[in-house]
Structure 1
Amino acid sequence: MLKVKAKAKINLYLDVLYKRADGYHEVKMVMQSVDLADIIELVPVSEGISVFSDLPYLPNDERNLAYRAAVLLQEKYNVDQGVRIYLEKRIPVAAGLAGGSTDAAAVLMALNKLWKLNLPLSELEQLAAELGSDVPFCLYGGTALAEGRGELITPLPSLGKFWTVIATPSFSVSTAEVYRSLDLGRLKEKKDLAEMIRGLERDKPDLIVKNLYNALETVTAERYEEINLLKASALEEGALAALMSGSGPSVFALAPSKSVAQAIFRRWKRMEKKVFVTTTG
């Protein structure tokens, strides 16, 4: 039996450059893992792959990325063993926090050990890209630049520890629909990615915070006023910055101290049910 953590991610920077011939969008993102995490338990069995979760509505078949990750490894490397996977979900589902992608990445890493495949990270990364655009980053964690459709990963110097508050509104959004609705011509006032990376390299948090950016806010935040209200209220409580993560609807706030993070938590808790205090890492 093996028990592992699967960390959520936030986007410190998300720019959409153009739509590619294959239908995907070319992006540039700075992705950051946080300590909010699902707990995954893997139990070896003689045959078959099964997935169980503490969320009754979570699919346990090929619609579940953790299941697909296990099947992919088993079929590609002719593994004659099976596995029973238990997901303790702490990361909100379909919330812009890579909850499914991080589970898939954790399953790839764990089964590589459990099934003694000894695959290098570079090979796991190729498999991860087959499963989804966010899965390769979730193999690495930490702080990283993601390019292509999100699957080309370059590790960056660590952001370090920031107290982080995350709120997930009760409505859901479709990532595909957000990208379909994105008007690239409206993305005029972009922040400076190069300056953000210099801030990471030189350990200058002010350069990082001032350049937080998410192009997808032009779609999701305009449709749902809750996102702007969450951001504004966090700043009123002393947040360094607040931003939507991914295609939403989750919003995160970076706080200068634990006490400010707790103040944001209390404020947001009056607005939304799902609010978490965590740290970057």
Structure 2
Amino acid sequence: MADTSSIWLDVPAPAKLNLMLHITGRRPDGYHNLQTVFQFLDYGDTLSFRARDDGQLTLEPAVDGVPFEDNLIVRAARLLQQKAGKHAGADIRLKKILPMGGGLGGGSSDAATTLLALNTMWQLNLSLDELAAIGLTLGADVPVFVRGEAAFAEGVGEVLTPLPELEERWFVVVCPQVHVNTAKIFSHEGLTRNTDPINIRTALRQGGRNDCQQVVTMLYPEIGKALNLLNKFSHAKMTGTGACIFSSFGSETEAISVSEQLPAEYVAFTAKGVNQSPAHKVLFRPS
């Protein structure tokens, strides 16, 4: 019998881009109704899992400034432990490359990968619907990572319509070294909150804008400066509430060429947009 204590399961936690983000209204509970298009990138964090039978959870390395029990990875694991029984435990390692607060969904993706991987490792057999419902309690972006399909999202981002026909282009992503306070953006009096809803066909044909971008660039001039720079090569947009911005290109060669022309002070990477999550490709590949 194999020694399961030495077997590690490595699973990607991919970045996402909001290819558009329209805010269509503000709800009585203070949250905002929105419309957005999510697409994954073949770039992101990596989580490694090893099962334990003593009910203990470990996570390394520790994340500076984030208490262990507040980490979304640990919170996700705790929610599944409630269904797995007292003996289910795991050692978890995180290889973190996505910036925190960049609008790339790093924390939400880490939480979703944890739900998906431990559901498999602990043989819970929860459906994606059940995992997505658990994920929604952790954050509005978690369900799209759980379901693993590029999607048109409505509501607070949890009402998802898959978009398998979305073009898989190459992107240059620039990450200005500022941390955007999401709550500050969504509470700002200058934020556009009355964009007319559109349908999926219009979103795919016309693209759309990011309604947060004007307020963010006013409050964080460094992001506006990066947008102006990237706009010289191809139309640039912000993802989520920032700080990261992106432009799309038709080939890897073109994306790399643009990335190499950016000033050295900019942190940037190239990646391909993909319509199936890399986490799903690992966990649900044919045996």
| Partner of residue 134 from structure 1, selected from 136, 141, 153 | 141
- Root-mean-square deviation (Å): 2.2
| Partner of residue 220 from structure 2, selected from 221, 224, 235 | 224
Q: How many residues align?
A: 266
Paired residue for 1:115?
Answer: 122
In the TM superposition, what whole-angstrom CA distance separates every residue of 1:182-213 from its partner, at most 9, and x where no partner exists? Answer: 5355766x79654444x4xxxxxxx3xx5231
Instruction: Please state if 1:24 is matched with 2:31.
Output: yes
Paired residue for 1:233?
Answer: 229
2: distance between equivalents of 1:185 and 1:234? 24
Q: Secondary structure at the match of 2:38?
A: strand
Paired residue for 1:159?
Answer: 166
Which stretches in structure 1 are left out of the alignment for 5+ residues?
Answer: 200-206
Higher relative contact order by CA 8 Å / sep ≥ 6: 1 or 2? 2
Shift of 1:167: 1.1
Contact 2:24 2:197 in 1 (8 A): no
1: distance between equivalents of 2:78 and 2:11? 19
Paired residue for 2:57?
Answer: 49
In the TM superposition, what whole-angstrom CA distance separates every residue of 1:142-178 from its partner, at most 9, and x where no partner exists? Answer: 4201111112222113323211111111110111111
Shift of 1:267: 3.2
- TM-score, normalized by length of structure 2? 0.85
Q: Secondary structure at the match of 1:107?
A: helix
- For 1:276, the aligned partner's letter is F
Shift of 1:259: 3.0
Paired residue for 1:242?
Answer: 236
2: distance between equivalents of 1:121 and 1:160? 24
Q: Which moved more, 1:100-109 or 1:62-71?
A: 62-71
| Partner of residue 184 from structure 2, selected from 170, 177, 202 | 177
| Counterparts of residues 51-90 of structure 1 (less than 5 Å) | 51-53=59-61, 57=64, 59=66, 61-90=68-97
In the TM superposition, what whole-angstrom CA distance separates every residue of 1:114-143 from its partner, at most 9, and x where no partner exists? Answer: 000001111111101111000001112342
Flag the 1:279–1:185 CA change in 2: closer, same or farther, 3 A: closer
- For 1:213, the aligned partner's letter is R
Flag the 1:76–1:186 CA change in 2: closer, same or farther, 3 A: closer
Shift of 1:19: 1.8
2: distance between equivalents of 1:211 and 1:191? 13
* Shift >6 Å, 4+ stretches: none
Shift of 1:224: 2.2
Flag the 1:79–1:156 CA change in 2: closer, same or farther, 3 A: farther
Q: Secondary structure at the match of 1:259?
A: helix
Contact 1:50 1:60 in 2 (8 A): no
- TM-score, normalized by length of structure 1? 0.87
Flag the 1:56–1:126 CA change in 2: closer, same or farther, 3 A: closer
Flag the 1:182–1:104 CA change in 2: closer, same or farther, 3 A: farther
- For 1:18, the aligned partner's letter is G
| Partner of residue 279 from structure 1, selected from 262, 266, 272 | 272
Q: Which moved more, 1:214-223 or 1:77-86?
A: 77-86
Paired residue for 2:4?
Answer: none
Shift of 1:65: 0.7
1: distance between equivalents of 2:272 and 2:22? 24
Shift of 1:243: 0.6
Contact 2:23 2:192 in 1 (8 A): no
Instruction: Please state if 1:211 is matched with 2:207.
Output: yes
Flag the 1:85–1:160 CA change in 2: closer, same or farther, 3 A: same
Flag the 1:191–1:260 CA change in 2: closer, same or farther, 3 A: farther
In the TM superposition, what whole-angstrom CA distance separates every residue of 1:14-39 from its partner, at most 9, and x where no partner exists? Answer: 11122212221111111111111111
Q: Secondary structure at the match of 2:55?
A: coil
Q: Which moved more, 1:20-29 or 1:35-44?
A: 20-29
2: distance between equivalents of 1:36 and 1:97? 10
Contact 1:29 1:145 in 2 (8 A): yes
Instruction: Please state if 1:7 is matched with 2:11.
Output: no
Q: Secondary structure at the match of 1:181?
A: coil
Which stretches in structure 2 are left out of the alignment for 5+ residues?
Answer: 1-7, 275-287
